[in-house]
């Protein structure tokens, strides 16, 4: 099976702009989670989607949002970008019917906010 794919791999934006990142999970996986990775805060959970519904949400402001489509592909959106939003954004998928919570990660999207 193909792994988790994320597009684009790199993005450069300026403060105040908005950005949309895309994630395609492993075929058959219905759960998609998003994480933000920064040197200072490490890996932080943003949200999880399952069957087009948000099931879990981390402690991020409302500028961070997401959605999931019927084919399980997911997008996350960040509006009104701030310098502190510069990070590696990782998407992960799993078969939520499993009991081990094993997450399969994509390569990430590196967002730089200038």
Q: Does 59 bind other proteins (CB under 8 A)?
A: no
Would you put residue 88 in left (φ > 0), alpha (ψ -120 to 50) or beta?
beta
- Select 9 or 15, whichever has its Cβ closest to other proteins: 9
Among 13, 20, 22, 50, binds other proteins (CB under 8 A): 50
- CA–CA separation, 50 and 32 (whole Å): 7
- Select 42 or 62, whichever has its Cβ closest to other proteins: 42
Are 89 and 35 spatial neighbours (Cβ–Cβ below 8 Å)? yes
Q: Which is nearest to 91 in space by CA: 71, 69, 65, 73?
A: 73
Q: Does 102 bind other proteins (CB under 8 A)?
A: yes
In whole angstroms, the minimum distance from the beta carbon of 15 to other proteins comes to: 26
Q: Which is nearest to 109 in space by CA: 61, 60, 76?
A: 76
Query: Could you list the residues that contact other proteins (CB under 8 A)?
Result: 4, 6, 31-33, 42-43, 45, 48, 50, 55-56, 58, 90, 92, 94, 96, 99-108
């Amino acid at each position: 099976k193909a792994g988790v794919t994320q597009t684009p791999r790199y993005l450069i934006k300026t403060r105040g702009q908005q950005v949309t990142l895309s994630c395609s999970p492993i075929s058959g996986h219905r759960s998609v989670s998003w994480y933000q990775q920064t040197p200072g805060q490490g890996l932080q959970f943003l949200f999880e989607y399952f069957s087009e519904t948000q099931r879990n949400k981390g402690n991020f402001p409302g500028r961070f949002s997401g959605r999931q489509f019927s084919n399980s592909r997911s997008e996350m959106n960040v509006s009104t970008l701030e310098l502190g939003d510069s990070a590696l954004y990782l998407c992960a998928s799993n078969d939520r019917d499993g009991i081990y919570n094993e997450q399969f990660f994509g390569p990430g999207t590196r967002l730089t906010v200038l």
